[in-house]
Amino acid sequence: MEETSQLRNKIARKALSQWQALMADNVYLTNHSFQHSFELYFLHDQELKKKLIEFGKQVAEDLLPLVAENNYRLNLPRLEPYDGIGNRLDHIIHHPSYEAAGEIIYGADILGQFAIPGNMLKSFALLYLSGHAGEAGHNCPLACSAGLVRVLQRYKVPNSEFFLNKLITPSYKNNFTGAQFLTEIQGGSDVGQNAVLAYQDKQGKWRIKGEKWFCSNANADLILMTARYDEKVSGTKGLGLFLVPTKLENGEHNYFTVRRLKEKIGTNSMASGEIDFNEAIAYPVGELDKGFNIVMENVLHISRLFNTIIMLGMVRYAYSIAYQYARHREAFGKTINNYPLVIENLAQIKVENIAGLASILATTKLQDIFDTCKTPQKQEALLLRILANLNKYISALWGVNHIHHCIDVLAGNGAIESFSPLPRLFRDSIVCENWEGTHNTLRLQILRDIHKFAIDKVFINHLQTQLDTLADSPRKKQLTAAIILLNEQLDNLKNLSADLQALHIKTVVNQMSVIYLAVSLLIEALHQQLHTKKEYKLYYYDYFCLLHLQNETLQYDKEYLHLITKIVNED
């Protein structure tokens, strides 16, 4: 009996060892769907392809172990307020694995690509692979730094060129990282309540005084923050945008102190804190009365795009863990990837994640076109505004559930921090879900934009334009009908009372997101069919529509089982 027990243990551990070994496989080369997306957008860019292959290997073999080590509870960042003789330091100390992970992520030159107008999609191809490691302590600062790059390219401050060069240096040891401090304890999403004060001293230098409540990347070299430049001007119109360097030109620390670091549910490797600004030296960015608009159009807009691609990378890696586990874990005489409920769970996660990736890639391509256009139009800017919000909204709404249901596949093992990265990815996803606009914040912003800019008409026109490029087919007809119905829903929404609009916008935004994902996925699927003679993205699309664009109840028959099995076993 004891020998039988030991044999079973040995067999089970061997299967788990085989599963674990697969987690070190190249995250680019094992993702055939993303490789097709690469061919769609970068057909002849062999240099980028080589970089993605190299980085995909580095993420799996080097970055993920470093991030796991850095995320261990005894290795998390800590604050040293003073040195040994009582001088104020405000020094945030990271474990050595943090710097090593940063060298890999920043070394991929994600920000160097981002800084070139028209190259955001190339940057995001690399960022997607980095996102497989979760927030990783660096992907949030990377997004903050990108926002700073974009602002400094458009608005000059003292030392702009020096700051820009430091931000895009592909080395964490040698670069500068950025931060965005907007939140105050009384404000939150209601930024118009912010009270931190900006004023000019007798020498004409701008200084910042007050408390910022949620300061992520608290050890940043450059801080972009809002402050009220005129106490007589209420709301967001009274908020200017300022750049605050951590070090002054004489090398001394700027005049701010860190109260404490936040203990967050996730993204624990990245230091978030509460900071008091004690007449800190600051540089105004752009016209003072345009500060909040600069934040919205550059900083938050870019952060929402970054948030989306990182979340999708997290989900993809979580799916890979769950899929391979299901292939190696035996229960009741067969591996669990043979059980229909496991198959269905994996199929839905996979298809929704791939649709989300098609959506953000299509949006980023439009952003690149916009950024390189000599005469960009307001309608194009409005389209990008709503697409960024929809992408961030649906990737966050679904992403947390996706990773949760990947944990389900591992059952009790899924809850163990040392067994797989899934608990960390899940915790990181919850934080990313609430950063850069909660679900309700995004829903209501879209509702306001519908009334203020008729942004719904801009969106509908774009969907119809995209469909016009496709040959007639039953799939195109299905999407055309869905768009007509959505347009009717949007028109009906405007006839409701304000309170009822606030309730109904949830359903409307969900449908807007679903249709945009479906259109983006169909375009990729038809390209794959035409250029590679493969069709797996077409049945990904068909299953996506079964889940989200049909009114009838799903028919659980042999055809349905065959479809979801084919989806999970492909790619």
Q: CB-based contacts of 542: which residues, under 8 Å, 6+ apart? A: 475, 563
Whole-number Å distance between alpha carbons of 558 and 425? 34
What CATH number has the domain bearing residue 248?
Answer: 2.40.110.20
Whole-number Å distance between alpha carbons of 334 and 56? 32
For residue 545, the enclosing domain spans 439-569
pLDDT (mean) for 191-195: 87
Whole-number Å distance between alpha carbons of 386 and 393? 10
Give the rounded distance of the alpha carbon of 202 from its chain centre.
Answer: 43
Specify the 3-state DSSP secondary structure of 169: coil
Q: What is the pLDDT of residue 540?
A: 98
423 belongs to a structural domain: no
255 belongs to a structural domain: yes
- pLDDT 10s digits, 112-143: 999 999 999 999 999 999 999 999 999 999 99
425 belongs to a structural domain: no
250 belongs to a structural domain: yes
Is a pLDDT exceeding 80 seen at residue 4?
A: no
Q: What is the pTM of this model?
A: 0.96
Q: What is the pLDDT of residue 571?
A: 64
501 belongs to a structural domain: yes
Whole-number Å distance between alpha carbons of 22 and 69? 19
Q: What is the pLDDT of residue 516?
A: 98
70 belongs to a structural domain: no
Instruction: Domain count for the chain, please give it.
Output: 2
- pLDDT 10s digits, 358-392: 999 999 999 999 999 988 899 999 999 999 999 99
Question: Among the three residues 271, 290, 309, which one is the final residue of a domain in this structure?
Answer: 290
Which of 230-244, 499-513, 515-529 has the least mean pLDDT? 230-244
266 belongs to a structural domain: yes
DSSP 473: -
Whole-number Å distance between alpha carbons of 274 and 212? 6
154 belongs to a structural domain: no
Q: What is the pLDDT of residue 100?
A: 98
Nearest to 442 by CA among 477, 487, 393, 480: 393
Q: What proportion of the chain, given as a percentage, has pLDDT over 90? A: 91
- pLDDT 10s digits, 397-442: 999 999 999 999 999 999 999 999 999 999 999 999 999 889 999 9
Is a pLDDT exceeding 70 seen at residue 1?
A: no
Instruction: Write out the E strands in 473-557.
Output: none
What does the chain come to in residues? 571
Whole-number Å distance between alpha carbons of 302 and 385? 10
Question: Among the three residues 255, 290, 325, which one is the final residue of a domain in this structure?
Answer: 290
Question: Among the three residues 241, 260, 290, which one is the final residue of a domain in this structure?
Answer: 290
Q: Which amino acid is at 132?
A: H
Joined together, the tokens standing for residue 115 give 């800084």
Q: What is the pLDDT of residue 265?
A: 96
Q: How many Cα atoms sit within 13 Å of 497 on the Cβ side?
A: 2
Q: What is the pLDDT of residue 505?
A: 98
